[in-house]
Amino acid sequence: MISCEIISAFFYGRDIYYLEGQMSGGEDMKEKIRHLVIGAEVLVLIGLCISLVKNGNAQRVTVQSQIEEKTDKISNTSDYEKDNKKIIDIKGIGMKDIEGKENEEEDLEEINCKENNFKEKKRVALTFDDGPSSKYTPQLLEGLRERGVHATFFLMGKNIEGNEELVKQIQEEGHLIGNHTYNHVELDKIPKEKALEEIEAANQEIYEITGVYPQWLRPPYGAWVKNLDFCVEMFPVLWDVDTLDWKSKNVESILKIAKAEVKDGAVILMHDAYQSSVEAALQIVDLLTAKGYEFVTVDELILP
Ligand code: NI
């Protein structure tokens, strides 16, 4: 503003000088006007200098404030996350503009998402009883292989004969094999010696194929006899979620139970003995995987 007024005075003075030059008058008057104009020109120059200095200061203040603002953001973000998140922070600052509050919030969300990946996943164990089945077990194995999921198969001794390759395949594909007795007997309804025979006969069938003596036992109907704990070096495994797949033979019904009852650490009971069970099991895998669950075998779930 000041410089504009001085420039106006400068041109005004020059106009007076010009007009006086055209006028006939005394030399004294002309001299006075010349001094006036020179004075005005000096004022203009001083004004311009002041103006330049002031502008320079203003620019320095602006740059300084921008630097301070950026420094604040760097120190704030560093306070939020340290060490291994440094790369993310640096990326975030680079993407921010100086006034971009919204960008700042987006960066924080991005970091939060990455943090969630470090949290331990929820885990469940799918278990299949009564197999192996030459018709349904291969379909189930294929679906589990495609999804990169391992399950636990409690095999009946009497179903192994003729399905030896299938048992081998279950083992080779990383699933856990357990014992479901030889004849699917109710262990609490038969003499102790007979119960032990049932368990041992199934163990022998499995051992001859896999070279591994089963450690995990699923008693048919969940009927376990406590005293047997002292006679077999095996762990009985019951279940948390009974899908009743053998009863309904209905995919929707099985899914409904799974959706309602499955939670972190659950053992899910199913049977690779029905088409509906195979289809439902694979849908359960897809559903729970999408919800962040990891599928593990029974030993991985139970043992520390
Ligand atoms: Ni069974």
Give residue 231's pLDDT band: very low, low, confident or very high (50, 70, 90).
Answer: confident
Which residue of the set 89, 107, 129, 245 is catalytic?
A: 129
Give residue 232's pLDDT band: very low, low, confident or very high (50, 70, 90).
Answer: confident
Is 15 one of the annotated active-site residues of the chain? no
Evaluate whether 271 touches 297 at the Cβ level (below 8 Å).
Answer: no
Ligand 1 mean position to 156 CA, how many Å? 8
Six token digits for residue 166? 């299938």
Whole-model pTM above 0.85? no
Report the SS3 class of residue 236: strand
CB-based contacts of 137: which residues, under 8 Å, 6+ apart? 128, 131, 153, 163, 166, 170, 272
CA torsion, points 150, 154, 156, 160, in degrees to nearest 10? 20
Give the span between the Cα atoms of 109 and 126, in whole angstroms: 34
Ligand 1 mean position to 187 CA, how many Å? 12
Which residue of the set 89, 107, 130, 271 is catalytic?
A: 271
pLDDT in tens, 92-140: 222 333 333 444 444 555 555 545 555 578 999 999 999 999 999 999 9
pLDDT in tens, 164-211: 999 999 999 999 999 999 999 999 999 999 999 999 999 999 999 999
Report the SS3 class of residue 156: coil
**Rounded CA Rg of the chain:** 43
Ligand 1 mean position to 245 CA, how many Å? 11
Is 188 one of the annotated active-site residues of the chain? no
Q: Which residue from 278, 274, 276 is spatially nearest to 253, judged by alpha carbons?
A: 276
